[in-house]
Structure 1
Amino acid sequence: MIEFTGERFVPSEDGEIAYEHWHRYGWCRSLVKGRRVLDVACGEGYGAALLAAEASEVVGVDLSGDAIEHARQAYASVSNLVFQQGSATAIPFPDASFDVVVSYETIEHLAEQTTMIAELRRVLRADGVLVISSPNRPVYSDARNYRNEFHVKELDLSEFVGLLESQFGAIRLYGQRLATGSFILPDSAGEQVYQAVTRGEGASLRFESANLESVMYYVAVCGGEGCTLPELPPSVYLDRAVDLYARYQGVALWASDIDRQFSELGRAHRRLQREHEERSRWAVALDQEVVRLAEQLAALQAELDERTSWAIEADQARLKATQDYEALVQAFDARSRWADTLVAELEALRDKAPVSSPQGPMGHGDDPGSV
């Protein structure tokens, strides 16, 4: 079975979308009896298989190769049903090939809508019939503030009709929506009140009387003996003011808004979580930087202490050298003064000494013994 992604319906789905898709194919089955039919954007193939139960031949076309391959395998036992890959804007068949063309919930997926309608007209015979559906944008999307990610261009009624009128001269519109109400039907088993379409086994539909099961109330019409009772028609009561389906849609819209708010809160939470993690990382990095700077400061302090100690020692050495120098200067000065004293004494002694003969102590005529 093809996985349901929201882009195309698969028969394994239940609920609102299933009611809508099954009902469309069941509703038009009488129209295709004995005719050659083309189902454009056939998807999984369940609808084409339903139509094949009445038509002489049905061809299902879809852009997805995977969908076509699945359909061929899933409905291989249906002899008058074939599937072929192709686009709604370039249908791979000659002009006037089909009596009926069916295309449900396709046009909103395409930007080339005018081309698609022209192609549907081309492959239809002159007296052929097109059955096509399109979501009503004001109700489907605008009123619910809803966006289908697979829809390229949704249409309102005037846009839809204008598009169809470009190729088709006769148009009859029908509306489809789910509704809730009260049924009053004859309590006659097997009597066909009006045709009801309901889900059968597997990918099938049943067409039967709309007799109700699990009747909540009985309503009787009575008269006297021999009285001809009036036959009241079956009746369906719909109250627009108390529409459970509309209420469901309102609840769904509320739930969607809650889900949106929850998603926003989730995103905000994740953003705050990221900010918290970033700030935590920043705090850790800051702590590491503080430790690094403290270590650097300690190293600088140790270096400063070492240099201070060296400076003190150097200053002490300089002071000692200065003192030693001053002591040497003082000693030198003392010796200089002593030397000056000696020189003075020597000079004094020289002044007192007798003058010698010019010829010297060994000169001629001197007495060796004289002074």
Structure 2
Amino acid sequence: MERYTTEHLFHQWYEHWHRYFWVLPLIKDLQLADLACGEGYGAALLAQHAKHVTALDIDAATIQKAQQKYPQDNIRFVCADVLNTGLAANQLDCITSFETLEHLAEHEALLFEFKRLLKQDGVLIISTPDTDVYNPEDKHNHHHVKELDRVEFQGLLSRHFAHSALFGQQLQLASVIKPIDNQAESVTLQAKWVQQGKEFTAHKDITKPQYLLAIATDCEQNLEKFKHLGGSCFNDSENSLYKHHEQQLQRLQSVDKRMPELEQQVQRQATIINHLKARLGL
């Protein structure tokens, strides 16, 4: 089973944590469920803001570990099938379910269950890889049962919810300029994309996001509120991924520098071997 754990660093760390941090501003005091919660790290983060979080996963051992690791009063961990949760209907203000859809073939049944659990004005926040970008050369992830492209994902949501908004997530390398004499928690950033040719030309972001995130609801007012989440930039204070990238580049450059020397050593050894073979009549 494909499952992210917090011990996994680098690109997965950024992608998985970012989704949960992204929704935090709008879940304060909500009744929430994180369905297919995995080891529970996201549910624990959501519980710092939500009124109560029900965290559900099909794997009993994973749920048991989550209960031990995150013993918060406002989290309930449940072992159940996400297609048949057994939870009470019409009780949830919000459902989060990240990277769940592609592991199941029964997409319609999954959305029916989500809809059953939500209040009339409830909101679903869901993510899945865009198969056109995630598998550009049909390099299928064997853990994934059924992936969707953007059009298919939007179509699925529209069959179950009156309103939806789509977002894209992609890991990108960027240079950041920010004020350092203002220690405000949040800083407004301008995003610039350029293409380098003979001259730099600025243009809109034309990159294709690897992951699709959607907000879906029957309540237009709630959609507008959640749409204010907008774009989001996420990083760790240690800039770990970039540092790892630089370390690997330095290692490869060091290997490249040694290659000519090693090739000469191999050639000298081959000459010696051939000389010895000749003397031995081999």
Which category of TM-score, normalised to the shorter sequence, fits these structures? 0.5 to 0.7
Q: 2:20 aligned with 1:29, yes or no?
A: no
Q: What is the one-letter code of the residue matched to 1:63?
A: I
CA deviation profile, 1:314-360 (whole Å, cap 9, x unmatched): xxxxxxxxxxxxxxxxxxxxxxxxxxxxxxxxxxxxxxxxxxxxxxx
Q: Report deviation, 1:236.
A: 3.4
Runs of 4+ in 1 over 2 A off after TM superposition: 181-189, 233-243
Q: Which residue of 1 aligns with 2:99?
A: 105
CA distance in 2, matches of 1:187, 1:82: 41
> 1:164 aligns to what?
157
State how far apart, in whole Å, the 1-side matches of 2:193 and 2:139 are. 26
Cross-structure match for 1:71 = 66
| Matches of 2:195 and 2:6, distance apart in 1 | 31
Show CA shifts across 1:112-150 (max 9, x none). 11100110011000011100001000101125x432111
How many angstroms apart in 1 are the aligned matches of 2:175 and 2:191?
A: 6
Between Structure 1 and Structure 2, how many residues are aligned?
A: 202
Measure the CA separation in 2 of the matches of 1:234 and 1:116. 37
On the 8 A contact 1:184/1:235 being kept in 2, the answer is: no
Larger relative contact order (Cα-Cα within 8 Å, sequence gap ≥ 6)? 2
2:13 is the counterpart of 1:58:
no
Deviations 1:87-118 (CA, angstroms, capped at 9, x unpaired): 11112112102110000000000011110011
Q: What percent identity do the matched residue pairs reach? A: 39
3-state SS in 1 of match to 2:88:
coil
Deviations 1:266-300 (A, max 9, x none): xxxxxxxxxxxxxxxxxxxxxxxxxxxxxxxxxxx
The answer to whether the aligner puts 1:184 opposite 2:139 as a matched pair is no
CA distance in 2, matches of 1:166, 1:138: 22
User: Per residue, is there more strand in 1 or in 2?
Assistant: 2
Match of 1:236 among 174, 191, 210: 191
1:18 matched to 2:16: no
Name the SS of the counterpart of 1:28 in structure 2.
Answer: helix
| Distance in 2 (alpha carbons) for counterparts of 1:105 and 1:164 | 15
Residue deviations 1:232-276 (CA, integer Å, cap 9, x gap): x84333335599x99x9xxxxxxxxxxxxxxxxxxxxxxxxxxxx
Given residue 67 of structure 1, which amino acid in structure 2 is its aligned partner? T
Unpaired runs of 5+ in structure 2?
198-204, 209-240, 242-282
The secondary structure found in structure 2 opposite 1:79 is: coil
Flag structure 1 segments of 5+ consecutive residues without an equivalent: 193-207, 211-232, 249-371
Aligned-CA RMSD value: 2.4
1:187, distance to aligned residue in structure 2 (A): 3.6
Q: Contact 1:95–1:122 (CA<8 Å) still a contact in 2?
A: yes
CA distance in 2, matches of 1:240, 1:168: 38
TM-score, structure 2 as length reference:
0.67
**Structure whose CA Rg is larger:** 1
Relative to structure 1, is the Cα distance of residues 186 and 26 closer, same or farther in structure 2, using a 3 angstrom cutoff? same
Give the alignment partner of residue 147 of structure 1, picking from 115, 140, 145: 140
Equivalent residue letter for 2:142: E
Q: In 2, distance between residues paired with 1:60 and 1:46?
A: 10
Normalised TM-score (structure 1): 0.51
Q: Name the structure with the higher helix share.
A: 1
Q: Distance in 2 between matches of 1:26 and 1:84?
A: 22
| 2:115 corresponding residue in structure 1 | 121
